[in-house]
């Protein structure tokens, strides 16, 4: 799908969808997002499940044959296109389990002692880091599934039906354009933190817990184990917010603002370029009017 087709195929107008309006299919959202942002890898959906038995109903599900980090599970869904289901036992440690609410709470984890001398100078520093992490409350869920967004039906309650959140990797420029789309209507100033190592807490941990758009700079573990490239950022949010951003990006495109951003030139007279985006405000526009 090219940019023009993607821009025309969300809700059909420059206005945001009315509250409660049905979303486009998740496969369509995936295709549009890939086309507009020139994504290297497709977006995925992630869902927490209350029982491990729910995994058995998911078609073409892969269960790990080794112990992994959560970053690897996300990488398998994103970069290999797999549908992957896990329980706490499939993850290498509590640093992975606790972000997504799996496993049983362990007071020792909260001290961060295992990270002291590795990522932080003292146990006190590590303890503050652990307390700063966004996490899903434990005790509610026993399993998790991640799969490419195009595979989800969008039907709540169905196996691989409606994901809790959508995740996608993008370059900084593409991510900024996506955020511009989110801010087109109902503007808000997004405030995102950086917890440091274990930054999956900033993305899927925060989004699963709050359902708020959550941007992160992927950490060492995500890049070493999850295959994340050096210039990639990660966004996690609901499918409804993806649709909202797509509507916003289509409106921006109607104003001539599209991704990728064309380079103007660092030595050019800026007035001619600015007059295209702001035709009533720049000196060049005023000179033309006179």
Q: What are phi and psi of 168, to 5 degrees?
A: -150, 150
- What mean pLDDT comes out for the span 63-71? 97
Confidence of residue 160 (pLDDT cuts 50, 70, 90): very high
The sheet with strand 233-237 has its strands ordered as: 84-86, 143-148, 44-49, 165-170, 233-237, 214-216
Q: Does residue 283 or residue 126 have the better pLDDT?
A: 126
Query: Buried (b) or exposed (e) across 207-222, using 16+ Cβ within 10 A?
Result: bbbeebbbbbbbbebb
Interval 174-188: pLDDT, tens: 999 999 999 999 999
Running DSSP on this structure, what letter comes out for residue 257?
-
- What mean pLDDT comes out for the span 36-55? 98
Residue 284 pLDDT > 60: no
- What mean pLDDT comes out for the span 95-124? 97
- What mean pLDDT comes out for the span 114-131? 98
> Within 13 Å of residue 66, how many CA atoms lie on the same side as its CB?
6
Q: What is the pLDDT of residue 80?
A: 98
Confidence of residue 1 (pLDDT cuts 50, 70, 90): low
How many angstroms separate the CA atoms of 166 and 1, rounded? 20
Q: What is the pLDDT of residue 280?
A: 76
- What mean pLDDT comes out for the span 76-89? 98
Q: What is the pLDDT of residue 21?
A: 56
Q: What is the pLDDT of residue 14?
A: 35
Please name the residue that has the structure tokens 């941007």. 215
Running DSSP on this structure, what letter comes out for residue 281?
T
Q: Which of 37-46, 107-116, 255-264 has the lowest mean pLDDT?
A: 255-264
- What mean pLDDT comes out for the span 91-103? 97
What would the two tokens of residue 219 be? 């950490």
- What mean pLDDT comes out for the span 107-119? 97
Arithmetic mean of pLDDT over the chain: 91
Q: What is the pLDDT of residue 24?
A: 73
Q: What is the pLDDT of residue 2?
A: 55
pTM for the predicted model, two decimal places? 0.89
DSSP states of 160-221 = T-S-SEEEEEE-HHHHHHHHHHHHSSS----------SSGGGTTHHHHHHH-S-EEE---HH
**What percent of the chain has a predicted confidence (pLDDT) above 70?**
89
- What mean pLDDT comes out for the span 198-223? 98
- What are the DSSP E strand ranges found in 77-196? 84-86, 143-148, 165-170
């Amino acid at each position: 799908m090219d940019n023009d087709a993607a821009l025309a195929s969300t809700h059909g107008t420059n206005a945001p969808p009315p509250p409660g309006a049905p979303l486009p299919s998740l496969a369509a959202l995936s295709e549009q997002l890939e086309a507009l942002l020139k994504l290297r890898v497709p977006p995925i959906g992630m869902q927490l499940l209350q029982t491990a038995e729910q995994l058995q109903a998911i078609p073409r599900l892969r269960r790990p044959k080794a112990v992994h980090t959560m970053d690897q599970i996300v990488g398998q869904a994103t970069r290999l296109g797999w549908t992957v289901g896990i329980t706490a036992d499939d993850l290498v440690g509590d640093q992975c389990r606790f972000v997504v609410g799996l496993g049983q709470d362990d007071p020792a984890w909260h001290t961060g002692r295992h990270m002291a001398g590795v990522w932080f100078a003292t146990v006190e520093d590590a303890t503050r880091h652990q307390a700063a992490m966004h996490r899903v409350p434990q005790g509610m869920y026993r399993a998790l599934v991640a799969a490419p967004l195009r595979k989800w039906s969008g039907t709540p309650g169905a196996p691989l039906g409606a994901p809790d959140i959508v995740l996608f990797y993008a370059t900084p420029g593409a991510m900024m354009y996506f955020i511009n789309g989110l801010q087109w209507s109902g503007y808000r100033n997004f405030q995102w933190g950086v917890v440091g190592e274990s930054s999956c807490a900033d993305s899927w941990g925060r989004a699963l817990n709050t359902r708020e758009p959550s941007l992160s700079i992927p950490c060492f573990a995500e890049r070493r184990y999850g295959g994340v490239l050096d210039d990639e950022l990660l966004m996690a949010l609901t499918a409804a917010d993806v649709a909202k951003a797509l509507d916003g990006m289509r409106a921006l495109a109607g104003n001539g603002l599209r991704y990728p951003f064309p380079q103007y030139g660092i030595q050019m007279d800026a007035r001619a370029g600015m007059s295209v985006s702001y035709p009533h405000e720049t000196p060049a526009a005023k000179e033309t009017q006179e």
